[in-house]
Structure 1
Amino acid sequence: MTSESTVPAFDLIGKRYDESFVERDVQLAEGAWLIQQLPPGARVLDLGCGSGLPSAKQLLDAGVEVVGTDESAVMIELARQQAPGGRYLHQDLRDFDDLGEFDAMVAFFALLMLPRMDIPELLAKCRTRLRGPKLLLLSMVHGDFDFFPVSFLGAQTNVSAYPPEKLREVVTDAGYDVLDLREVEAEAEPGRIEVQIYLRAKARD
């Protein structure tokens, strides 16, 4: 029998993520900005797409082709239900070698699920799969720790975080020009406020 410690945290969280995630205004605003930058017929990879809400659905509603990946089978099934029309794959977000090229990639609160040592390599890999506007949107939680154990909505997991200027440095060193970086306070779950970082970047040629 599989123990909870070996089950992806978001398999355990499931639908409660959408029910408990209180503030998503900034994430939606970032998605709206991205849609304005994309050419007709654009293709976007949503790394750590979760339940498909809000980003995959927002992009699909705008006529964008969306491929979403997530390590949680439960979240992938939710995405298929809640954001129909996308292609959703149950796999590690670092594994997208066979998915082709994309005009943009988004990773909203996804990279924080990785050890810090894996993040620069993943960002560099993303850059090699970008075409056209070559845009990257990502969000992280403000902090300074590496794969630290936390409890989120009652599930145990490990997360990494950077201070804003360190995150800018990591993204720049991976081959991107940072277009915008913002810190916002948001209620991540009922009664808990956290500082979040939203970053826009363009891959260098």
Structure 2
Amino acid sequence: MHAKNVLKTYESVAATFDRERDKSLFERRWLDRALNHATGRRVLDLGCGSGRPIAQYMSERRATVTGVDGAPAMIELFQKNLPKAEAIVADMRTLDLGKKFDIILAWNSFFHLSPDDQRGMFPVFAAHAAPGAVLLFTSGPAAGEPIGQVGGQPIYHSSFDPPEYRTLLDDNGFEEIAFVPEDPDCQMHSVWMCRKRPSA
């Protein structure tokens, strides 16, 4: 299983993923923190999947959501679940929307990229971040390339050690607000919250 197979896998399991994805909003505390830190409500959801529950929750909180996913089947579900939101089929690695956002989410999506592609994402984050924008993403707690499962299929993940993420963030104009590895209040997700420096 390799990073290059991730989009094909999500395309093939989209309906199962949407049906089985935990919708209890265990992520709510982090999403609320992002909303509280942000200066606006323009949200870019990278790897948005079907939009449930995260994009739906942000929309209910008066956010204007743009969902981006490289799997067309996921975007089809996203449009069904959030008919008023903008939905774009695109690979996050080459994204260039020409727009800035107040919150950028890469929740359980960014960590499916290879190490080199993860490094390349930080300029993409920066290019879409308004001054003071909040970047919220999940990673692993330490460096590695584990294989998980989605919809009964194997799925690739990768992560760096925290110091490398901190260097990438700093080099691209972001400051760390919080990092909680294996957050016990978030189903053991390792969560980063960062802010785009106003002058960066």
Deviates more, 1:77-86 or 1:137-146: 137-146
Q: 2:112 & 2:77 partners in 1: Cα distance? A: 19
Q: Distance in 2 between matches of 1:150 and 1:32?
A: 28
Between the aligned partners of 1:90 and 1:129, the Cα distance in structure 2 is 17
Classify the secondary structure of the residue corresponding to 1:161: coil
Number of residue pairs aligned between Structure 1 and Structure 2? 194
Tell me: CA distance 1:164–1:21, structure 2 relative to 1, closer, same or farther (3 Å): farther
Equivalent-residue separation in structure 2 for 1:102 and 1:69 (angstroms) = 13
Aligned with 1:15: secondary structure? Answer: helix
Q: Which moved more, 1:14-23 or 1:52-61?
A: 14-23
CA pair 32-180 structure 1, distance change in 2 beyond 3 A = same
Q: Distance in 2 between matches of 1:201 and 1:10?
A: 27
SS in structure 2 of the partner of residue 94 of structure 1: helix
Aligned counterpart in structure 2 of residue 201 of structure 1, from 163, 183, 194:
194
Select the structure that is richer in strand: 1
Q: Secondary structure at the match of 1:127?
A: helix
- Out of 127-136 and 113-122, give the one that drifted further: 127-136
Deviation digits for residues 108-152 of structure 1, max 9, x if unmatched? 011111111111221122113211422101112334224x55443
Q: Alpha carbons of 1:196 and 1:167: their partners in 2 closer, same or farther (altered >3 Å)? A: farther
- Per-residue Cα deviation, 1:132-185 (whole angstroms, up to 9, x for no partner): 422101112334224x55443322332212344443343334331100011235
Match of 1:47 in 2: 46
Shift of 1:43: 1.4
Cα 1:22/1:68, change in 2 over 3 Å: closer
**Partner residue in 1 for 2:128:** 129
Using the aligned pairs only, state the percent identity: 20
Question: Can you list the C-alpha shifts for 1:64-114, whole angstroms capped at 9, x where unaligned?
Answer: 111111011111111111123111111101232134111221100111111
SS in structure 1 opposite 2:78? helix
1:43-82 correspondence runs (5 A): 43-82=42-81
CA contact under 8 A between 1:44 and 1:106: conserved in structure 2?
A: yes
Residue of structure 1 aligned with 2:157, choices 147, 156, 159: 159
Amino acid at match of 1:134: A
Q: 1:197 offset after TM fit, Å? A: 0.8
Query: 1:23, 1:117 → 2: CA distance?
Result: 31
d(CA) in 1 for partners of 2:65, 2:6: 29
What is the TM-score of this pair, normalised by structure 1?
0.81
Distance 1:18 1:162, change over 3 A: farther
Point out where structure 1 has 5 or more consecutive residues left out of the alignment: 189-193
Q: Aligned partners of 2:6, 2:21: CA distance in 1, in Å?
A: 24
Distance of aligned partners of 1:6 and 1:55 in 2 relative to their CA distance in 1, 3 Å threshold: closer
Q: Name the CA distance, whole Å, in 1 between partners of 2:112 and 2:7.
A: 14
Structure 2 unaligned blocks of 5 or more: none
**Alpha-carbon distance between aligned partners in 2 of 1:166 and 1:91, rounded to the nearest angstrom:** 27
